[in-house]
Amino acid sequence: MILRGLWRLAKGERAGIGEFGGELDHFYASLAPLIGIPLAGALVTALNGDWAPALVGFLSRLVAVLLLPVAVYEFSRLFGREKFWLRTATALNWSFWMLFPALIVAAFIGAILAQFGLTMELAAAATLVLMGLYLFWYRLFALSAGLGVNYWKAGIIVVVSSAAMVIAAALPALLGLIPNMALPS
């Protein structure tokens, strides 16, 4: 049902939100990979002897992951749509996986643009912008469908939650708590 829900929302079907469970166990299942992937990365970093960056990096990503459902809950209360927050937050957690098909489509579009004479840098920038706009629309649509609010209210939630997530993920690096990671040559 999750893949069907993601697909239906991706096509702009509001009823796709109904494919997601609205109970706590469904919500926890949607959080598991969002927590597990950064945890695995932190463990690899820690095993290389970098315990402090691993811990700080994991905690900042954990906070960023949890900010979205908290924002959905708080805004749903504010807009009088509290009974719909859990299903909506679950759908938004699963929407992370839409990044991968969007990347594939973006790479295809970028290749076509490059064939028509655009430089690779310009084609890559154009496809990243298109992908970002689509993912923004996807979240906006999922919030609107899930909470039953208009696009302005959904847009406020997207902007506030996205800004909070970026700050939570970037703040430790900006404060110097995570040293700049150099890529191997």
| pLDDT tens, the chain, 185 aa long | 899 999 999 999 999 999 999 999 999 999 999 999 999 999 998 999 888 888 988 998 899 999 999 999 999 999 999 999 999 999 999 999 998 898 898 889 888 988 999 898 898 898 889 888 999 999 999 999 999 999 999 999 999 999 999 998 888 888 877 765 544 55
The answer to whether the beta carbons of residues 111 and 45 sit under 8 Å apart is no
Which pLDDT does position 142 carry in this prediction? 96
Which long-range contacts link 163-171 to residues 24+ away (Cβ below 8 Å)? 164/64, 164/67, 164/71, 165/64, 165/65, 165/67, 165/68, 166/64, 168/60, 168/63, 168/64, 168/67, 169/60, 169/61, 169/64, 171/60
Which pLDDT does position 52 carry in this prediction? 87
Tokens representing 85 are: 């927050």
With respect to residue 185, please indicate whether it lies within any of the assigned structural domains: no
Helix then strand count (H, E) for the chain reads 7, 0
Residues 47, 52, 57, 63: is their CA dihedral positive or negative? positive
What DSSP letter does each residue of 115-135 carry, written as one string? HTT--HHHHHHHHHHHHHHHH
Q: pLDDT tens digits, residue range 117-128? A: 989 889 889 888
With respect to residue 106, please indicate whether it lies within any of the assigned structural domains: yes
**Residue 53 belongs to domain spanning:** 2-174
With respect to residue 78, please indicate whether it lies within any of the assigned structural domains: yes
With respect to residue 183, please indicate whether it lies within any of the assigned structural domains: no
Amino acid identity, position 28: Y
| Domain count along the chain | 1
With respect to residue 68, please indicate whether it lies within any of the assigned structural domains: yes
User: 């028509």: which residue's tokens?
Assistant: 116
Count of C-beta atoms within a 10 Å radius of residue 57:
22
